[in-house]
Amino acid sequence: MFKKIPYLNNFRLVCLLYAMVSVFCWQYKYFGNRYNNYSIFEQVYNHARAQTNLYAFYPNEYFDSNHYGPAFSIIVAPFALLPTMWGFLLWNIANAVIFIYAVRLLPINDKAKMLLLLCCSIEFANAQHAIQFNPIIAAFIIFAFVLVEKRREEWGTLFIILGTFIKLYPIAGLMFFMFSKRKKAFIAWCVVWSVVWFCAPMLISSPQFILQSYADWWHSLHDKNLQNMTLLSAQDLSVMGVLRRITSNLNVPNLPFLIAAAACLGFSLLRFSQYRYLNFRLCILSSALITVVIFSTGSEPPTYIIATAGAILYLLLQPQPYTKTTIALFIAIALFAALVSTDAIPAFIRKPYLSRYAVKVWPYIAVWGKLVYDMLFKNFNGKVYMQPQLSENNEEALLMA
């Protein structure tokens, strides 16, 4: 089946696609003076240097406000130090390069990597169009998984902690602790990197200002969460948000759903006999990428590059030939869900129906439900086409290479 698709045999073409998307979005936004999000990003560095509130509104500089952690001021510094035009261009390119590199590191075969990148391309374009950090957030979670697989906990935990200090989502990477062969090192390095990234912004500012900024960040996230929970919000594209919209009930609580999701993942991680199978561990990675998005009230259309990477990875792990259900989910995730919040769907359909009821989230809920069922009940000792051909004896040796 896949031999007939030339793009799956030419990595350069896929890289070219991502580069073209990145450059197109840059020129469209920059020359059209539509790069508000990047203005927020670069000003995080400048405000940290000047020790002015990182989460206040600055209507003379941009609209909206920053919601990333103080550590982001260090990450964005190389771009903010450049003229806006070139910093913005490099920002887009960095999102593409880092995301592609993360996918290339996954322990699946090359054709699966190409298909994953192709299926994520529309959501990647959505993220680039919105000038987001989400492709890198997805990459951080993947980096953490791959590095823990390679017993490089000192670097895997770096991406978990750094990502958490920026946008919380990569905290899901702590699940990979269960697969670590060096659990003491995992814990120790989490502590080390927590200290490093907690203090790092102080290098360009002051301890007092950064300590206050962490408190400000907490209040910013709390306020944003309350603002998101409306029936007409472009955010809250979550399981809870779907129910709030369908029932027209703003009082649908978050906590029961968060507890249920945590319980599903927790019970899955109690299946210690399945840890030896790469399929199972990859499913845990997929669940981490999907769960942090569909159970977050802060999720919006550009966030879904993270969930899409997880959903497509999981679908690629299904036995071939694919069932009609799997093919339908591929189409729903890679095409329908990616386009449902864009101008590709006429506004008279999109706004009163698809956006109103958060239809974009529905295919991800279906995939997540199927994934959780597999993690709880499936025996993962079967072979999967999309994986490298590994025996139980040489699987670990290949990952360590």
**Lowest mean per-residue pLDDT among 153-167, 185-199, 345-359:** 345-359
Q: Indicate whether 20 pLDDT > 60.
A: yes
Identity of the amino acid at 24: F
Q: Indicate whether 374 pLDDT > 60.
A: yes
Report the share of the chain in percent with pLDDT over 90: 80
Residue range 345-357: mean pLDDT, rounded: 87
User: Which distant-in-sequence residues (6+ apart) come within 8 Å of 342 by Cβ?
Assistant: 126, 301
CB atoms within 10 A of CB 215: 10
| pLDDT tens-place string over residues 263-290 | 999 999 999 999 999 999 999 999 999 9
Q: What is the reported pLDDT for 9?
A: 60
Please state, in angstroms and rounded to a whole number, the distance separating the CA atoms of residues 292 and 117.
20
Q: Indicate whether 366 pLDDT > 60.
A: yes
Residue range 154-165: mean pLDDT, rounded: 98
User: Which distant-in-sequence residues (6+ apart) come within 8 Å of 99 by Cβ?
Assistant: 18, 120, 124, 135, 136, 138, 139, 305
Confidence band for 381, pLDDT divided at 50, 70 and 90: confident
Please name which of 15, 23, 137 lies closest in space to residue 88, comparing C-alpha atoms.
23
Q: What is the pTM of this model?
A: 0.93
Residue range 123-142: mean pLDDT, rounded: 97
| pLDDT tens-place string over residues 174-206 | 999 999 999 999 999 999 999 999 999 999 999
Q: Indicate whether 136 pLDDT > 80.
A: yes
Q: Indicate whether 376 pLDDT > 90.
A: yes
Please state, in angstroms and rounded to a whole number, the distance separating the CA atoms of residues 30 and 361.
30
User: Any idea which residue has 């996230």 for tokens?
Assistant: 221
User: Which distant-in-sequence residues (6+ apart) come within 8 Å of 53 by Cβ?
Assistant: 47, 213, 216
Q: Indicate whether 345 pLDDT > 60.
A: yes
CB atoms within 10 A of CB 81: 11
